[in-house]
Structure 1
Amino acid sequence: MHSRSRPADENPAPRPEAGRGTVDPRRLRADDLRSLLAVARTGRLVAAADALGVDHTTVSRRIAALEKALGLRLMERGTEGWALTDAGKTVSESARAIEDALARVADAVSGQGTPSLRGTVRMSAPDGFGTVIVTPALARVRRLHPGLHIELITATRQLTLYQSGVDLALAIGTPTGSRLVTEHLTDYTLGLYASDAYLTRHGAPRSTADLPEHALIFYVESMLQVGDLDIEHHLPGASPAFSSTNVFAQLEATSLGAGIGVLPAFLAHRAQLRRLLPEEVDIRLPITLAVRREAVTHAAVRAVRDALRHEVAHRTADLLPQ
């Protein structure tokens, strides 16, 4: 990146590839490090600039200055935005400590007894799980740390943390990637559900052999990016008559009597739908929590991670009903 004005997120000029010996700490500026962290989180110069309250050319100039001071290439352009190089990840991990220290200074000056976490944490989660399970956990974190900015991206798709500037991601199944620290967060149940209106008009299936006589509601197969949600794997021969990429559209269609939905229990029970064939159809899927390796030690990321663990521990009855 260089200091002349150019369109936001344009490819930068060539940058140094390797270190240049001893670095003078006096040449390093906290604002330059904060700019690096902001772009690493958002993946975009403009979004990073908005978070910092500056112009995107300022962010570009600060990162260029940091790269010059260190003699290292810290960021590279990917297909979905800017991502840290290996050297950038090392620098970023240390820079977070400086950011936390600045936040503690601000808290001390403002007279707050208990330091409040600051900065931005960005995470992703599937639509339904993110809304019903994750959002209450994030709201609790925000109540404890009002200076913390949290961004939640909801989509039932695979996600590469580094390309998306995401600190944490929840995924159905097990995401791959050596750069990720993963853990099994919880399992959840999907089953067959229908409204009273649908059952009055069409009756209930007596077994899975009757399902071809009913309209099923599920994801759009051709656009599904999560293999664990392949309906053929769970209900061989089944073909949805109403499909949507959004689980809330599936829930609404089921509530309106458009068919029998293959839905998460934690959503269907809230809509007061009837569970069908629970002994035959009890699909259990894992939710995996993935964290960028260099973000694991960040205090705000740890706070969100702990809140998610607490939430699922207290929502077992919703996620895995008996």
Structure 2
Amino acid sequence: MNSRSHPAGTDPADTRGRDPRRLRADDLRYLLAVARTGRLVAAADALGVDHTTVSRRITALERGLGVRLMERGTEGWALTDAGKAVSEGARAIEDALDQVVDAVSGQDAPSLRGTVRVSAPDGFGTVFATPALARVRRRHPGLQAELITATRQLTLHPAGFDLALAIGRPPRSRLVTEHLTDYALGLYAADEYLARHGSPRTPAELRDHALVFYIESMLQVGDLDIERHLPGVTPAFSSTNVFAQVEATRVGAGIGVLPAFLAERAGLRRLLAEEVDIRLPIVLAVRREAVTRPAVRAVRDALHREVAERADELLPTT
């Protein structure tokens, strides 16, 4: 196997001299770190070593077991089927060590440790995932929470996260998915813009106004395709970042097609509320090998609690 398909450029299937009794349990930490991040360099940073050490330790583990544990894909390094089975056992060992630490520290309730990496859209990730993660961290100070924000489709070959939030209906994949919540988008404008250009009375009149939305050619979520919701309307100001869209709308660049939970925070005025009321789902997805992790379950529960308590922001009645 060449260096493009294996971290250290060696073939772990060569089992000469293999002796599972000589396996180093500490090598399992390196496997878990790459599985969680999908990148050798990111795993090395998390472990406090250089990436060549990570590669070497995983290769040693593969040689000891006589199976390939990781393979490289378009989204980074991912576990093979054998790697998933091994990682489950590794997490059990990691959890057992945490319980030992809790037992000797005199804590009444087990405190979660390790790292949970969450991927989420910019807006939803900032406004809803962030407080949910903070809530988990308050209860479990030993847990490291990482949030990656990007508005993109769930991939068929997931890597680089434990739990993902995405807009729209998920494709068939290796992920375990569930519906988290729906959220509303509508037309919003600043008073300054309306004073200069007037307010559209029908959706057809939007063609006479500047629209603020995503860059169509760079849009990675089919459910956000503007043609599905407002046929024949082309944005005049576009951005891949929803916060830039909110700011452009706030300073009068045009009428924004914005999530209600962001637009109403910015004090923008809702337009054509009955005619344009877009509802989209947020899907929660977990990599199969991470489903049983206590820390991932804790984050999942916190996200469900966050959206349940703030449902009026996601789906306002007015």
TM-score bucket (shorter structure): over 0.9
Separation in structure 1 between the aligned mates of residue 231 and residue 19 of structure 2, nearest angstrom:
62
Aligned equivalent of 2:109: 114
Q: 1:253 aligns with which of 248, 259, 280?
A: 248
Secondary structure at 1:290 match in 2: strand
Aligned equivalent of 2:50: 55
Aligned equivalent of 1:202: 197
Amino acid paired to 2:87:
S
Q: 2:159 aligns with which of 160, 164, 176?
A: 164
Aligned equivalent of 2:277: 282
Separation in structure 1 between the aligned mates of residue 224 and residue 285 of structure 2, nearest angstrom:
19
Residue 117 of structure 1 contacts residue 299 of structure 1 at CA under 8 Å; is this kept in 2? yes
Separation in structure 1 between the aligned mates of residue 117 and residue 157 of structure 2, nearest angstrom:
12
Alpha-carbon shift at residue 60 of structure 1 (Å): 2.0
Distance 1:290 1:280, change over 3 A: same
Separation in structure 1 between the aligned mates of residue 113 and residue 276 of structure 2, nearest angstrom:
45
Residue 192 of structure 1 contacts residue 281 of structure 1 at CA under 8 Å; is this kept in 2? yes
Aligned equivalent of 1:130: 125
Aligned equivalent of 1:15: 11
Aligned equivalent of 2:135: 140
Q: 1:94 aligns with which of 89, 95, 99?
A: 89
Aligned equivalent of 1:271: 266
Alpha-carbon shift at residue 79 of structure 1 (Å): 2.6
Superimposed CA distance per residue, residues 100-123 of structure 1 (whole angstroms, 9 cap, x where no aligned partner): 111122222333222211111111
Amino acid paired to 1:242:
F
Structure 2: which 5+ residue stretches go unaligned? none
Alpha-carbon shift at residue 44 of structure 1 (Å): 1.7
Q: 2:77 aligns with which of 58, 78, 82?
A: 82
Amino acid paired to 1:235:
L
Residue 161 of structure 1 contacts residue 169 of structure 1 at CA under 8 Å; is this kept in 2? no
Alignment map for 1:229-244 (pairs within 5 Å): 229-244=224-239
Superimposed CA distance per residue, residues 229-255 of structure 1 (whole angstroms, 9 cap, x where no aligned partner): 011110011111111111000000100
Superimposed CA distance per residue, residues 103-147 of structure 1 (whole angstroms, 9 cap, x where no aligned partner): 122222333222211111111111101111111101101111111
Secondary structure at 2:273 match in 1: coil
Alpha-carbon shift at residue 206 of structure 1 (Å): 0.8
Distance 1:210 1:50, change over 3 A: same
Residue 7 of structure 2 contacts residue 55 of structure 2 at CA under 8 Å; is this kept in 1? no
Amino acid paired to 1:187:
D
Residue 9 of structure 1 contacts residue 46 of structure 1 at CA under 8 Å; is this kept in 2? no
Alpha-carbon shift at residue 10 of structure 1 (Å): 7.6
Superimposed CA distance per residue, residues 243-296 of structure 1 (whole angstroms, 9 cap, x where no aligned partner): 111100000010001110000000011001110001100000011111101110
Amino acid paired to 2:233:
A
Separation in structure 1 between the aligned mates of residue 131 and residue 270 of structure 2, nearest angstrom:
25
Distance 1:256 1:244, change over 3 A: same
Distance 1:319 1:19, change over 3 A: farther
Residue 173 of structure 1 contacts residue 228 of structure 1 at CA under 8 Å; is this kept in 2? yes
Aligned equivalent of 2:208: 213
Task: Give the structure-1-normalised TM-score.
Answer: 0.92
Greater shift, 233-242 or 62-71, is seen at 62-71
Separation in structure 2 between the aligned mates of residue 244 and residue 149 of structure 1, nearest angstrom:
31
- Size of the aligned set, in residue pairs, is 316
Separation in structure 1 between the aligned mates of residue 49 and residue 276 of structure 2, nearest angstrom:
54
Residue 161 of structure 1 contacts residue 168 of structure 1 at CA under 8 Å; is this kept in 2? no
Identical aligned residues as a percent: 77
Q: 2:149 aligns with which of 145, 154, 157?
A: 154
Task: Give the structure-2-normalised TM-score.
Answer: 0.93
Residue 162 of structure 1 contacts residue 292 of structure 1 at CA under 8 Å; is this kept in 2? no
Q: 2:98 aligns with which of 93, 99, 103?
A: 103
Secondary structure at 1:164 match in 2: coil
Superimposed CA distance per residue, residues 70-115 of structure 1 (whole angstroms, 9 cap, x where no aligned partner): 1110011223321111100111112111111111222223332222
Secondary structure at 2:26 match in 1: helix
Separation in structure 2 between the aligned mates of residue 316 and residue 158 of structure 1, nearest angstrom:
23
Amino acid paired to 2:180:
L
Runs of 4+ in 1 over 4 A off after TM superposition: 8-11, 17-20
Residue 186 of structure 1 contacts residue 288 of structure 1 at CA under 8 Å; is this kept in 2? yes
Amino acid paired to 1:276:
L
